[in-house]
Each structure stands twice: as structure tokens, then as C-alpha cells.
Amino acid sequence: VARMFLRLLSDIQWRAAHSKWRRMTSSQRSTSTTAEPHPVSLPAQAQVVICGGGIMGTSVAYHLSKMGWKDIVLLEQGRLAAGTTRFCAGIVSTARPVSIELKMAHYSNKLYQQLEQETGVQTGYMKTGSISLAQTQDRLISLKRIASSLNVMGIPCEIISPKKVVQLHPLINIHDLVGAMYVPEDALVSSANVSLALATAASWNGVQIHERTSVSHVTVQKGRVTGVETDRGRIQCEYFVNCAGQWAYELGHSGEEPVHIPLHACEHFYLLTHPLKEPLSSSLPTVVDPDGRIYIRNWQGGILSGGFEKNPKPLFTEGRNQLEIQNLQEDWDHFGPLLSALLRRMPDLEALQIMQLVNCPESFTPDMRCIMGESPTARGYFVLAGMNSAGISYGGGAGKYLAEWMVNGYPSENVWPLDLKRFGTLQSSRTFLRHRVMEVMPLMCDLKVPRWDFQTGRQLRTSPLYDRLDAQGARWMEKHGFERVKYFVPPGKDLLDLDHSKTFYKPDWFDIVGSEVKCCKEAVCVIDMSSFTKFEISSTGDQALESLQYLFSNDLDVPVGHVVHTGMLNEKGGYENDCSIARLSKRSFFMISPTDQQVHCWAWLRKRLPDDSNLVMEDVTWKYTALNLIGPRAVDVLSELSYAPMTAEHFPSLFCKEMSVGYANGIRVMSITHTGEPGFVLYIPIEYALHVYNEVMNMGQKYGIRNAGYYALRSLRIEKFFAFWGQDLDAFTTPMECGREFQVKLEKGMQFLGQEALLEQKQNGVYKRFTMFILEDHDTDMDLWPWWGEPIFRNGRYVGKTTSSAYSYTLKRHVCLGFVHHFDEKTGEELVVTTDFINQGEYEIDIAGQRFQAKAKLYPFSSLFTQRRRKDEAELSGYQRE
């Protein structure tokens, strides 16, 4: 083992010639912490302190220094690239299902390719390509979906037959394969050397690198980072970047003001062998066999093969720090199933001699996506960690986006799926993380079908009606820890069990949701929507109104009792949040936004609201249960329960009133449904929730009331062309681009955030346009269903991707929503998208490589709104135009 360790070390080319930092440390290869003289003392202050000298820390340092920030100190508790980075398998793979991750990996690949030339450090970069194997048709579908999105990004990629697989890699046993995906430009690197190369380039650019320096904690004053305490003294700084890998959680919790970074380490095993008799070529492609849960790459004439087992071993739950990752124990019994998979895939390797089983912990996050961004509580505290074992693939791109974020205030791509603020304290429990990562690690290889959900760490946040709904057949999904109903299985009807209900085709709940939708259209349904984020903002004087008028694009100076749909826009006019705000009184507002906005929206407002003790913002999410009564008979149910007239004359659309329902008083009733259907949302103080629910269900019986879930809601809102934040809308989408000019009051008499950008768009036009597509030749029973992220083709050319989709039970067709761009045919330059451009194209949607004709629409079907109602048009996005 000792020899092995040295061998790994010798992979690293220590280029003394160029490295400044090389001189700062003793050359002795001791892993102990024993004090050695530190020839260079730490600076007393710096603009940025980066903690962690792995691939993430060095990549951030590299990119920051490239962007012109020079006053940077990088601290590493052991030696550079000595943690997870050293033991990383070094596979750069772009085949990622999430688009932002794909972009990061693509950029990383390009960066590493030229890194050796730039720095002179040998990175071992070798373009080998990769083959992802499919043992089942379902797996092949998921590969085809990835292939579609790689192709439209210009990354070469093809679906190949098993025969072609053998041509690419002679050792592979193909008898159980149905196909494969080949990505010829994927690469191998020595990850430690990449990290050292990045560090070298960074140090040329002025970054100071100090090894053997541990950060004990970060000091924060008045919500801003002020400095870093280390075992070698204090450094004052404006920015701190936590790139501490699996120790990031602990480091985040070490300060007085904890920064919650939900990640947890699991042991990860891979095998190294001696060379084959005829050593494997170093250009042989990497093989990924997700059904066998393994990956196999060539390594020094032999192979390196690891995987993601079904029963992972989480570790360091209690948090045990250690300087560098020593080789943890080899556990052959644990590796057994993966070894079986390896020998099944490459039977000729039986006689190959084992060199070592490496155990190197990797950190995993609750949703399988990495963590990046600024802390919601401590400004200047940035995080980049939790790579879910894809650190080398993401390293370059992730470092770039974080550097952009720090320098420009925002990254150049929508990184919300990776934003630290998608999590809150609720994902920070060690028990939760331990259980969740045990599910996440096997999921790396599991087949992910549309609307899959996590099974662990559930029932954390629930509505007070949870048990009632569950007893009535509710099936649940989770968002931000909150249990939400998907649909209700009627008594006597059995659905397939979880494993069998996994499908890319028509799901087993199709008819169930259909009848819920029908009930919403014809009678009335109740959906528990308690998970929505709810804030109250009030002030003694006009501060609340003034501040909100600046922070929101619509005009909030409406009469008391009115509800306003508005975007919370950034400087570029993009949606940071999309909410409904009710004016409760002259000086107080009730704000409803999507569930996963709880942390982000709070931080956004906190940062921008004036520091005024007379202006109070409170998170009241937990105080109210929300019942959405959707359907034409909602009005009857409610008026019977409240003895108050609820008709349009008394209770117009987009109106909010406190009233009594049953015995319970003080129920906030709003005439919105988030679907475009008539109805009301009741915001009920939680202790009344059960009472009001019972009353509504009892009274509703004669109107045919029933429970419904979010799948019905989604079908309704998508056929009405309603965009949802987080699905369709993001920080890079403006109201102008999604037909919501009517929610922007450019002339409301005062400045607001994003106004300039919107004015410019209004004058010059938009570069993408939110469009609704109705699939024409799609057979709901036989064809693959769309999900989201499907490429859109106009006249045969790629113009954008879908963002959400649903079956419309009214149209009896699939509806996809997505953005259409206009790329110049020659230069690829983005051009203005006009209404004519949209209307004059022939469209196709690509579902896993198969294209379906689609009709594009910029406005919803008016024929759907047979129950014409009053002012509802205002709620129907895009219907009422300026």
C-alpha cells in the first residue's frame, strides 16, 4: 500500500521552475501536521481568501485572477490537490442531464485541453472519448435524451449500435447491450495535475498560495465577511470562498453565524490494476455502464474502475476532520457487486492482476447537484463544493461561474439549479443528509424517469392536513422539504408499485389526473398549496410601499384588497422571483412566491430593503395553510360557508379579503388560483386548517367537490400558457420575453429595478420568446412523452429548448412551453425574435431523438375560456396586451 501511495504521488509533476508557492513549503512529503517553519508569513489582509486547494479552490483562484482580481490568498490545510482531488478518477465527461452542468463540463474540457500549453504543467490530458452503455431500452431512451441536448450544443455525440461499441473498445462484452452513446471528445486528465496547473497559472497572476494553513473560522460582522482566522493568524478580507470539499459543511458551521452547506461524504471505491499483458492504449475510450453501476477507464496500461453501489457507506456524519485523506480501508466485500459488473462487462480481465482498491470519499448533496453561490446570511461568503463525484468534470466551469458571480455580481448563465440558496437550514440536519446521500449516491446510476422523486428525508415539512389527505389516497412529492400531493388514487384503484411505474411513456396516473382536471373544469377541486413561501412586509409609514415599488416591476400602489402579479426583477430585468402580492392595508403587504424561494427571496429582499426598524419583513410561511379551490362551483361553496356574496360584483378577480369560513374567522381569501381557472385560494391560520378543510369538503359535496393534486394543477396552468418560476422563468428571462409586459408598469411614476433593461428591450425587441407548442402528430399512448429540456427546431434548425410540458386534457394534446431564439444562420449570432418570426416557422420538438411536429402559439387558446369571466383576463398571462 505504501508503494502504491508513492506511485500515485509520482503522477504529480512538481514543477518547481515556475511555482512561487513551491518555495513556501517544505519539500518533505510528510502527511503530519507537525509544525514546519513557514518561510512566508500570511498577509494581514486580502480582498479574497479561498479556503481549499483542490480542483475547486484552484479553479476559482485561476478564474478570479484571470478576470483581474489580484489580491487573492488561497489557503490549503494540507498540500495542494491532496484531498478528494488527488484520488479523483480523472474522467472529464460532458454527458450530463442538467443543462447547466453540461455547460460547466463542456467548458472544463476546453479549459483543460489548453492548460498544459498555458502553464507548462503536464495535465495528462488525453481525448479518449467515452461510451455510455445501455442494457435496457429505457436506459437507451435516457441516453438519447442526453445525446439530443449535447448535439444542439454543438458537442459531437452519437447513439451507436453494440457492434460499433466493440469497434471502439475490443474488451467490452456486448451480448446484453441494446445500444450506447459515444461522446468522442470526452477526456481523461490527471486531476491533481490539473489542479496544480490552475494553481501555477493563478500564482503567476498574483494569487498567493499557502499550504499547511487551516482556516478555523470566518468572522462576519453586520452580515458581511470581515476576515478569516487561521492557525497562522488572521487575514482581513472582503470575500471568503469555501472550497473545502467534504469539510465545507463543518467549516460553514464553525463561525458564529453558521453558513449551511448541505453535503455529506460517502466512501467511494475504485480499483487499480497492473497493466495488461498487452498494455491498454491510453487513447481507449472510457466506458460508463450505468446499469452495472460502474465506470472503466484505461490507466497506465491497466484499468481503473469504480462505481456507485446500491448500499453506500456514508462517513464523517459526526464530522471528523483529517488533514488529508489517507487511504481509508479497502472493503472488498463491499466492492464485490461492482467487481462482478466489471467482469461481466469485460470478461477477459479475469486474469488481470489487482494493484489496489482505492477508497476515496466523495461529497454528495441532497439533490445530486453541486452547491455554488453566496451565503444568504453572510455577504461576501461564497461557496463552491458538493460535486457529487464529478468534481473534475465541473471544476473548470464551476470556478468560472463563481468567479463571474463574485466579480460581476452574477454569473453568465442561469445557475439557480446549483445556487446555495435553493437550500435552507432545513436541509442541514446531519441525519437528513446521511440518509439522503445514501439515496443520492446510487441514484448517480439509477434510471431517472420524468417526475422521479427522492424517497429518503421525507415528511419533514407537512401541512396540518397531511394525514387527512394521505388517508384519502394522496400520493406525495417533495419540494424544499415540503410534502405536496401529486394526485389522489381513488379508493379501490391500485397503481403500480414504484419500480414498475417508472416510465418515459404514458404514466399510470393518466386517467386519475384526467378526472381531477375534469372536476376542476366542471365542478370544484381542493388542492393543498401550503408549501408556497409567504412573507408579510409592513411599515409604520410609506416605507413598505416605496421599497416594494422599487423592487417589483408591477404597480403595487393599488387599492387595499387588491392582488398584483409581479416579477421581482434583477438589474437586467430578469426574474429573480415571480410572486403575487396582496395589499392588506395601506402599509402592509402579503407576498406569495414559489416554495423554493424561501431562502433566495428572503436574502434578495433583506439585501435591498433599507435598514429601517420601522420596516418589518416576516416569513409567515409556516403560519398559514393554503387551500386552493379551483373550479366554477368554488364560488358557491365559499358563499355558503361564509354567508357572504362571492360573485364577481362583490368579489372580483385578483381581490383579497379577510372573512370567516365556517366557524373560523380571519381567513385570507384571494380570488386567484394560479391556473387561470376561476376560484379562490384560502390562507388559513394553521389551527383552523382542519376545520376549514372539513367544512369545505362537507359543503362542497353537493357541488361535486373532490381533492386534487399538483399534476392536475400543472396540466391546467400549462394549457393556459402560465409560466412558473423555477421551471420556465429564471434570472435570465424578462417579462418582455414571456409576454408579460402587462405586469410591468414602466410608467408607474418611479424607478424600479430592471426598468432600464426592460425599456431597452421594449425599444429594441427581445432575443428569445416564450412560446407554447401543441404537439400535432404525437400519440399519447404510444410515443415517448415530453418532459422538459427537449430541443425545439424551427424549419429544421435548432432554436431553443422546452422548459415544461403537460398533457392537456382539454385539447387532448401534449403542450410544451419553451423559448424560441433566432440564431443567425451563418454566424450563429442571436437576433431579435419577432412575432412574425415565431408565427412563420414550422416547428418540431425532439423527444429522445424523435421529432414531433408542433404548432407554435404566443397566446393561449381563447376557446378554452368558455366560462368568460370579468377581469380574469388580467390573470391570464399574455392575454391582455399593452
Residue 3 CB, shortest distance to other proteins, in Å, is 8
2 vs 35 by CB, closer to other proteins: 2
Half-sphere exposure of 313 (CA within 13 A, CB side): 14
Q: Which is nearer to other proteins, 303 or 689 (CB)?
A: 303
Nearest approach, Cβ of residue 287 and other proteins (Å): 15
The set of cell numbers assigned to 173 is 462484452
Residue 384 β-bridge partners: 372
CA distances from 720 to 125, 627, 815, 855 (A): 50, 21, 10, 15
Please provide the size of the chain in residues: 882
What's the CA gap between 212 and 10, in Å, rounded?
20
CA-closest candidate to residue 313, choices 359, 355, 244, 357 = 359
Tell me how far, at minimum, the Cβ of 191 lies from other proteins, in Å.
24
- Residues of the shown chain interacting with other proteins in the complex, contacts defined by CB under 8 A: 1, 271, 273, 329-333, 335-336, 339-340, 342-343, 349-354, 356-357
Nearer to other proteins, 206 or 347 (CB): 347
The label of the residue with cell 399510470 reads 508
Shorter beta-carbon distance to other proteins: residue 73 or 287: 287
Edge-to-edge strand ranges of the sheet holding 187-188: 91-92, 187-188, 126-127
Cβ closest to other proteins, residue 298 vs residue 533: 298
Q: Helical H runs in 26-98? A: 55-66, 84-87
Question: Which value, to the nearest 10 degrees, does the dihedral of the CA atoms of residues 779, 780, 782, 788 take?
Answer: 100
Please identify, using beta-carbon distances, which residue of 220 and 355 lies nearer to other proteins: 355
Residues 6+ apart with CB under 8 A from 404: 63, 67, 410, 411, 412
Between 356 and 553, CB nearer to other proteins = 356
Nearer CB in complex with other proteins: 127/334: 334
How far apart CA 374 and CA 397 sit, in angstroms, is 17
CA 355/CA 8 separation, integer angstroms: 12
DSSP 200-247: HHHHHTT-EEESS--EEEEEEETTEEEEEEETTEEEEEEEEEE--GGG
Grid cell digits, residue 75 = 489557503
Q: How many CB atoms lie within 10 A of CB 50?
A: 32
Find the shortest distance in angstroms from Cβ 438 to other proteins: 18
Three-point CA angle 482, 487, 490, nearest 5°: 135
Q: To the nearest 10°, the Cα dihedral for 168, 169, 174, 178? A: -40
Rg of the chain in Å (alpha carbons): 28
Min dist CB 858 to other proteins, Å, is 60
Q: Which is nearer to other proteins, 30 or 353 (CB)?
A: 353
Smallest gap, in angstroms, from Cβ of residue 177 to other proteins? 21
CB-nearer residue toward other proteins: 48 or 355:
355
State the cell numbers at 709. 393534486
* CB burial string 128-160: b at 16+ within 10 A, e below: bbbbbbbbeebbbbbbbbbbbbbbbeebebebe
Give the shortest CB-303-to-other proteins separation in angstroms.
9
Least gap, CB of 339 to other proteins (angstroms) = 5
Nearer to other proteins, 332 or 663 (CB): 332
In this structure, are residues 561 and 380 in contact, taking their beta carbons and an 8 Å threshold? Answer: no
Q: Which is nearer to other proteins, 156 or 336 (CB)?
A: 336
User: Which of residues 330 and 640 has its CB atom nearest to other proteins in the complex?
Assistant: 330
Measure CA of the first residue to CA of the last residue in the chain; give whole Å: 73
Minimum distance of other proteins from residue 357's CB (angstroms)? 7
Closest distance of CB 332 from other proteins, Å: 4
Q: Is 222 exposed, middle or buried (0-12, 13-18, 19+ CB in 10 A)?
A: exposed
Contact, 369 vs 415, CB < 8 A? no
Closest separation in Å from C-beta 315 to other proteins: 16
Least distance from C-beta 166 to other proteins, angstroms?
Answer: 21
The nearest distance, CB 274 to other proteins, in angstroms, is: 9
